[in-house]
Amino acid sequence: MTYCLAIKLNSGLVFAGDTRTNAGVDRVASYRKLFSFGNGTTHAIVLLCSGNLATTQALIETLSRSRTQHDGIYSDISLFDTARRVGNILVNLISEAQSRPFNQGIDFGCNLILGGQIAGEEPRLFHIYPQGNFVEASVETPFMQIGEEKYGKPILDRIIRPHTPIDRALMCALVSIDSTMKSNLTVDMPLDVLVYHRDSFDLSRARRIEKDDQEFAEMRRYWSDGLRGLIDNIPVLTI
């Protein structure tokens, strides 16, 4: 399983995801689930993946190869077009895998979060489903999650708004993942995070957070201690 999320803000976008891939209790591995594609001037595209690993790896390879083609990913004039392109590729990959013999009962599906910016429009964020259709983030729903989303949703619901500062949103994303790791063993480190500032077309503000990362450990301690302190100071309900 996995947990990935992305946040759309007035000032840009935040992406975060774990790397745990679990194929059984005795088969645990880590694979990157956050990928970026950009040319530095007109296209900045980020993809988060959850689901069948073979499908997502084939999808990323297909997109990577298209970067050098005249009608490839950098030819799209809107991120809506990119979402449609990715959705079509996803449907074709799943259909091809399901048509092979002896594949009955295997789930080849995956969910994707596609975000970024193409010159001429504002940053956008889409959730792409295994069927190839997709929905876009809005002012009312400025974040998207895939995978084990339930444990990390409350902090996002309470804090994230379009005007939230981008660095604060990053902290909320990390707290969201930390809350999920605390309650679900199928989500684990290392983590990948990327922050995109509006109109920059710069995808270099990215980082992998390893298990021994001291800054992340301090953030986790601060969050846990803060929650305990809040509970201790909440007025007691009379019963």
pLDDT of residue 1: 74
pLDDT of residue 102: 76
Mean pLDDT value across residues 8-13: 98
pLDDT of residue 208: 97
Instruction: Give the torsion through C-alpha atoms of 141, 147, 150, 151, to 10 deg.
Output: -120
Predicted model pTM? 0.94
pLDDT of residue 24: 61
Structure confidence by residue, pLDDT tens digits, 43-92: 999 999 999 999 999 999 999 999 999 999 999 999 999 999 999 999 99
185: confidence class by pLDDT, cuts 50, 70, 90: confident
Q: Are 93 and 130 in contact (CB under 8 A)?
A: no
Q: What percent of the chain has pLDDT over 70?
A: 97
The values of phi and psi at residue 122, to 5°, are -80, 165
Mean pLDDT value across residues 6-32: 87
pLDDT of residue 25: 63
Give the residue, 38 or 98, on which the prediction is more confident.
38
Q: Is the pLDDT of residue 18 over 90?
A: yes
Structure confidence by residue, pLDDT tens digits, 192-209: 999 999 999 999 999 999
21: confidence class by pLDDT, cuts 50, 70, 90: confident
3-state secondary structure of 111: strand
Nearest-angstrom CA–CA distance, 187 and 203: 25
DSSP state for residue 72 in the 8-state scheme: S
pLDDT of residue 237: 87
Domain boundaries, the chain: 3-231
Q: How many CB atoms lie within 10 A of CB 65?
A: 11
pLDDT of residue 80: 98
Nearest-angstrom CA–CA distance, 34 and 18: 9
Q: Are 190 and 210 in contact (CB under 8 A)?
A: yes
Could you tell me how far CA 66 lies from the centroid of its own chain? Answer: 22
CATH topology for 3-231?
A: Glutamine Phosphoribosylpyrophosphate, subunit 1, domain 1 (3.60.20)
Structure confidence by residue, pLDDT tens digits, 79-113: 999 999 999 999 999 999 888 887 767 889 999 99
Nearest-angstrom CA–CA distance, 72 and 148: 32
Nearest-angstrom CA–CA distance, 7 and 139: 11
Structure confidence by residue, pLDDT tens digits, 115-157: 999 999 999 999 999 999 999 999 999 999 999 999 999 999 9
Alpha carbon of 2 to those of 64, 186, 206: distances in Å? Answer: 23, 6, 19
Of the candidates 187, 206, 212, 144, the one whose C-alpha atom is nearest the C-alpha of residue 18 is 187
Q: Are 117 and 199 in contact (CB under 8 A)?
A: yes
Nearest-angstrom CA–CA distance, 75 and 97: 28
Q: Which residue is it, tokens 């959705």?
A: 87
